[in-house]
C-alpha cells in the first residue's frame, strides 16, 4: 500500500538529501491562516536516508491539508543556525476530471535561510 502523500526533502546548502526531518500531516481546519495550523493530525514521521517520507492513509478525503516540516530540529541537530524553525505547506486534495484523487507529492528544497516547494509527480 502506498500512502497518498509523499515528500522528498533536499538540503540545498549541502547538496544532500535531508534525512531525519520530522514531518506532520494535518487536515486544515478553516479558511484563515491561524485555523489551518490547528487541524487534526493525520500522520507524522521523519524522512529516511534519502530524504523521503510516505505518510498518511492510502487515500485522503478531498480537502485542505498541511505538511509541517520541523526544520529547526533538523538544523539544530547539525549545529546550523536557521531562520525557519518549521516550514508549513498547505495544499489541496481534490478529484481529477476522471473522479480519481491523484497522489500528492510535496517536495521541499531547504537551506538555513530559504526554502521552496512545488507540486511534484
Contact partners, residue 117, CB within 8 Å, separation at least 6: 87, 89, 106, 107, 108, 109
pLDDT at 24: 96
CATH homologous superfamily, domain 5-117: Transthyretin/hydroxyisourate hydrolase domain (2.60.40.180)
pLDDT at 35: 46
Quote the pTM value: 0.88
Which regions in the chain score pLDDT beneath 70? Answer: 1-2, 30-38
pLDDT at 32: 52
Cα 113 versus chain centre, distance: 18
| Three-point CA angle 92, 121, 98, nearest 5° | 65
Q: Scan for cell 521552496, then name that residue.
A: 116
Residue 121 to residue 82: CA distance in whole angstroms: 29
pLDDT at 7: 96
Contact 7, 53 (CB under 8 A): yes
pLDDT at 87: 97
pLDDT at 3: 72
Amino acid at each position: 500500500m502506498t500512502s497518498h502523500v509523499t515528500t522528498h526533502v533536499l538540503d540545498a546548502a549541502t547538496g544532500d538529501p535531508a534525512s531525519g526531518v520530522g514531518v506532520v500531516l494535518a487536515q486544515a481546519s478553516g479558511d484563515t491562516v491561524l485555523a489551518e495550523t490547528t487541524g487534526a493530525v493525520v500522520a507524522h514521521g521523519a524522512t529516511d536516508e534519502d530524504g523521503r517520507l510516505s505518510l498518511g492513509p492510502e487515500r485522503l478525503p478531498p480537502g485542505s491539508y498541511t505538511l509541517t516540516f520541523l526544520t529547526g530540529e533538523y538544523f539544530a541537530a547539525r549545529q546550523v543556525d536557521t531562520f525557519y524553525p518549521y516550514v508549513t505547506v498547505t495544499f489541496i486534495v481534490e478529484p481529477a476530471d476522471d473522479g480519481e484523487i491523484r497522489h500528492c507529492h510535496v517536495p521541499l528544497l531547504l537551506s538555513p535561510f530559504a526554502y521552496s516547494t512545488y507540486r511534484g509527480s
